[in-house]
Structure formats: structure tokens, C-alpha cells
Structure 1
Amino acid sequence: MQNLIDFLNDDLQFPLDPLLKMAIGHFQFEAIHPFRDGNGRTGRIFNIHYLTQKGVLDYPILFMSRYIVESKEDYYAGLSGITQRGNWKDWLLYMLKTVEVTANLTYDKINDIIAAKDAILDAIEKGGGFSRPELILNAIFTQPFTRVKHLTGRGFYAENTARKYLDRLCDMGILEKRMISGNAYYLNLELYRILSE
């Protein structure tokens, strides 16, 4: 474990590109992780954390789990290739491909969210009757579900105004109101669709 920590953190003694160190560190973590269950999730979290810590990413938004799960056979073949034959080349190429595919998917998703946000702002402004529309727009794009308290707790709007605006966005087909345990939640349909893809 100390060898892994030193390898990942000592860039003077081990001067490698952070993407390569992430791939090597991921393998090493998986090889020494003592538990049968949870290795994959923890190892995938390791990837994103390491790239963020090294400044390759500003925010931890590159979730490689989807690609790894979808190409599970290649993932395990790469791990066993190192263990059985010392085949680092295929493993490193696989992990770099994982980063590339995930980066492209994330880039497209971010652009889709920005486009949806712009279109909804346009609809809100054309619909009229919303004071400070950028505040409600930011609130409904912070996460897929919004509640009245998300708008009142930050002092954006009074409770009745917040409820009226959210209900109006439901009437416009932008949000969908769902009652859960007696509480109203407002689902941003377009954001939810984009994040679910």
C-alpha cells in the first residue's frame, strides 16, 4: 500500500503523465484490495479522485464506470493480462480509451445541458411573468429535482411565488410535479433525460 501511495504522490521519483499513473495505480489498487465485493466501485472512484487531485480535471465529472461496466470483458482481460503475462500495453490502451470515450460522452452531455438551459431560459422569458428568471433556471438545473424550499431557502422568492413559478413551469411542460410522502418535487424533464442517457 505504501508503494502505491508513494508512486501516486511522488512525481519527482515517478515522473509519469497523470493518466498513465491513474491506469497503473488503478491496477495496483485492484491487485492489493483485500475484498471480493466493492473493488470495482472503489477503484473507479479512485480514478476520478486522482485525476481531479492532479489537476487534469477541475471537477470530478468524468465518470468512467459506464464504459468500464459496458466493456467489462475487456476490463478483466486487461487486468488478467498484466497478472498473467505482464501485458501493460493492452491495459494502458484500454484505460486511455476509457478516458477518451468518457470525456467525449461527458462533453456532449455538458453541451446538451447548456443547450437545454438556454432553450428553457428562452421559453421562460417568452412566457413572461417570471421575475429574475435566471434564479429559477439555475435552481432547476442544479439537480433534476427541485422543491419550493430550494427557492425560498436561498431567499430567491417568497413561498407562494416559488410554488406559483414551479407550477407554471409544469404547465409549460418543462417540469413535472411529483408528490412523494406528501411533499411536492418538481422534476426537470430535459435535465433528467440528458443525465439518464
Structure 2
Amino acid sequence: MKNPATEKIIYTPPEGESIIREKLKNLEDFIHAEDGIDPLIKMAVIHYQFEAIHPFFDGNGRTGRIIILLYLQLTGLLDLPALYLSDYIIRHKNEYYANLRRVTEEKDWASWILYMLDMIEQTSSKGRHQIIEIERLMEQMSVEIQEKLPRIYSKDLIEVLFKLPYTKRSQLELAGLGNLKTVGGYLTVLEENGFLKSEQVGKEKLYLNYRLLELLQHTSRN
């Protein structure tokens, strides 16, 4: 493992298939053990252990973050694995690697656990704020479309428009809102009235919920 700034090797993970398999099995047993450890503390230990094993040639960081989310869901602390942890780690990358190294070299678990807890707290708070803002925008657009375009308005339509920042005809058709011709007309009317903006991507025309996209970009920066 290299220091991302200096490219100097700061940690050499275990090698050999049998050793890695043994350590992963120990990690699996620890994850499922009913040991009474607070799940947030255990989450921090699990992430360190996985990164220390470093079982893959590439993608260990991404996999390690996925394991965090799945563990928090397993313990009931998350309904869905939907926290964007990468943003915090990228913004505090030097602290991340420094705290990993302190555990390895100095057994400084306290600094590492506090870092991980701060990551969860800040990411959760940011995600909650983002959800509240999306719900507000969804309600606002729902009222506007219902008032301006009552003939095409439905709750199902609004839900599809907010499922992703973009919509395709096929998505509306799959939602049972009509055939391709009918839902294509809906999207055209929504664009004509300023609710969507279309972009041609290859052979596919995408209809952007640009207000949702702007909100996501704004809340991601803050």
C-alpha cells in the first residue's frame, strides 16, 4: 500500500491465497459474532481489518466502503445502503491514511474510530439534509404540474421523474403510465412547459429533471 502523495510504500499486506483466505474467514466470523460490541465501533474495526488484508489487486477501497454500508444495514442502523461515504474520505484522504497507519504502527485505535464515527455522522447529516431538500422539490413540482398540466398529472408520474435525474419513455411505460407514444407525449408537454430539458444521447432521448440535478450538485458541494 502506497502513500497517495509520495508513492512511498507504507504497508505491505499479507500474501498468499491460503493466508488471505484465512484472514477473510476470521473477518467474516468477527462480522457475524454476537460479541456485544457497539455496531458503530465494530464497523470501524471491520473496515480497518478489510483494508489491512487488502485481498484484491484493485478496488479494495470501494469494496471496503460497500462492506461498511452492508454491515450498517445488517445491524439495522440503515434501511438501505445509501450513504455516500467516498465524498468524506476523498475530502479527508490524508487523515484517512494517517489513521490507518497509526493503527498498524502504534495500535492507535481511538483516533481511527473517532475518524470513522465522524465520517458516519457527517455523511448521515448531509444525506438527511439532501433527502429533505429533494422531498421539498418533489412536492413543489407536484403542485406545479398538477396546476399547469392536470390532464397528465399523477403521483406515479412524479415518482418516476424523481427516481433518477433523467427519464426515458421506457421508464414511464414500465411504470404503467401508457404506451411509448402516450408517454412520449407526456415528456414533450413537460419539456414545453419548462419542467424537463431533453438531451439526445446516441439514439436515446433523455429528459433531464434539471431542478433535481441542480439540487443534487448543490447539496453534494456543501
TM-score by length of 1: 0.93
> Any conservation in 2 of the 1:124–1:130 contact (CA below 8 Å)?
no
* Superposition misfits of 4+ residues, deviation over 6 angstroms: none
SS of the equivalent of 2:55 reads coil
For 1:175, give the aligned amino acid: L
Please say if 1:3 is aligned against 2:26: yes
User: Hey, what does 1:30 align to over in structure 2?
Assistant: 51
SS of the equivalent of 1:59 reads coil
1: CA distance, partners of 2:199 / 2:151 = 22
SS of the equivalent of 1:42 reads helix
SS of the equivalent of 2:207 reads strand
User: Hey, what does 1:141 align to over in structure 2?
Assistant: 162
Please say if 1:53 is aligned against 2:74: yes
> Any conservation in 2 of the 1:48–1:63 contact (CA below 8 Å)?
no
Q: CA deviation at 1:36?
A: 5.0
User: Hey, what does 2:206 align to over in structure 1?
Assistant: 185
Q: CA deviation at 1:102?
A: 0.1
> Any conservation in 1 of the 2:145–2:153 contact (CA below 8 Å)?
no
> Any conservation in 2 of the 1:116–1:191 contact (CA below 8 Å)?
yes
Q: Among 92, 97, 121, which residue is 2:142 paired with?
A: 121
Q: Among 65, 69, 74, which residue is 2:90 paired with?
A: 69
Number of aligned residue pairs = 195
Structure 1 gap ranges (5+) = none
Please say if 1:150 is aligned against 2:179: no
User: Hey, what does 1:81 align to over in structure 2?
Assistant: 102
1: CA distance, partners of 2:151 / 2:172 = 13
Please say if 1:165 is aligned against 2:190: no
SS of the equivalent of 1:16 reads coil
1:37-80 Cα shifts (integer Å, max 9, x gaps): 32211111111111111111011111211101110001001100
> Any conservation in 1 of the 2:146–2:153 contact (CA below 8 Å)?
no
Q: CA deviation at 1:132?
A: 4.3
TM-score by length of 2: 0.83
Identity rate, percent: 36
SS of the equivalent of 1:177 reads strand
SS of the equivalent of 1:195 reads helix
